[in-house]
Amino acid sequence: MYRNVKYSPAYTLVPTYECFNRCEYCNFRVDPSQDAWLTLEQAEARLQALRGQGICEILILSGEVHPESKRRDAWLERIEGLCELAIALGFLPHTNVGPLKYEEMLRLKAVNVSMGLMVEQVSPELMQTVHRHAPSKRPELRLQQLEWAGELQIPFTTGLLLGIGETEGDRRDTLEAIAQIHQRWGHIQEVIIQPYSLGNSQILNAPGFPLEQLPSAIAIARRALPDDITLQIPPNLVRYPDLLVACLEAGARDLGGICPRDEVNPDYPHPHLQALQEVLSTCGWYLYPRLPVYPQYEGWLNPALQSRVQQWRNALSLLSPVQPNL
Ligand X SMILES: O=c1nc2n(C[C@H](O)[C@H](O)[C@H](O)CO)c3cc(O)ccc3cc-2c(=O)[nH]1
Give the footprint of ligand 5AD on this chain (CB under 6 A). Answer: 25-27, 118, 120, 161, 194, 196-197, 199, 202, 264-265
* Residues of this chain, 100-159, that bind ligand X according to CB under 6 A: 114, 116, 118, 157, 159
- Cβ proximity to ligand SF4, 17 vs 297, nearer residue: 17
Q: Rounded to whole angstroms, how far apart are CA atoms 63 and 65?
A: 7
What share of residues in the chain are helix, strand, coil (percent, to 5)? 40, 15, 45
What residue 256 binds from ligand SF4, ligand X, ligand MET, none (CB within 5 to 8 A, per partner kind)? ligand X
Residue 116 CB, nearest approach to ligand MET (Å): 9
Q: Does 14 bind ligand MET (CB under 6 A)?
A: no
* Contact characters 98-127, ligand SF4, x per CB under 6 A: x-----------------------------
DSSP secondary structure letters along 36-92: PPPPHHHHHHHHHHHTTSS--EEEEE-----TTSTTHHHHHHHHHHHHHHHHHTT-E
For residues 175 and 120, the answer to whether their CB atoms sit within 8 Å is no
* Residues of this chain, 228-267, that bind ligand SF4 according to CB under 6 A: none
CA 120 to chain CA centroid, nearest Å: 12
Q: How many other C-beta atoms lie within 10 A of the C-beta of residue 240?
A: 10
Q: Does 262 bind ligand X (CB under 6 A)?
A: yes
Question: What residue type is 98 in one-letter code?
Answer: G
Of 110, 141, 252, 132, which is closest to residue 195 (Cα–Cα)?
252
Q: Does 308 bind ligand SF4 (CB under 6 A)?
A: no
Could you say which of 8, 43, 55, 64 contacts ligand SF4 (CB under 6 A)?
A: 64
* Residues of this chain, 155-184, that bind ligand X according to CB under 6 A: 157, 159
The SS3 of residue 11 is strand
Selected range binding ligand SF4 among 20-28, 31-39, 86-94, 245-253, rule: CB under 6 A? 20-28
Question: What residue type is 236 in one-letter code?
Answer: N
- Residues lying near ligand X in the complex (CB under 6 A): 8, 57, 59, 94, 96, 114, 116, 118, 157, 159, 190, 192, 232, 234, 256-257, 259, 262, 264, 292
Binding site for [4Fe-4S] cluster: which residues? Answer: 19, 23, 26
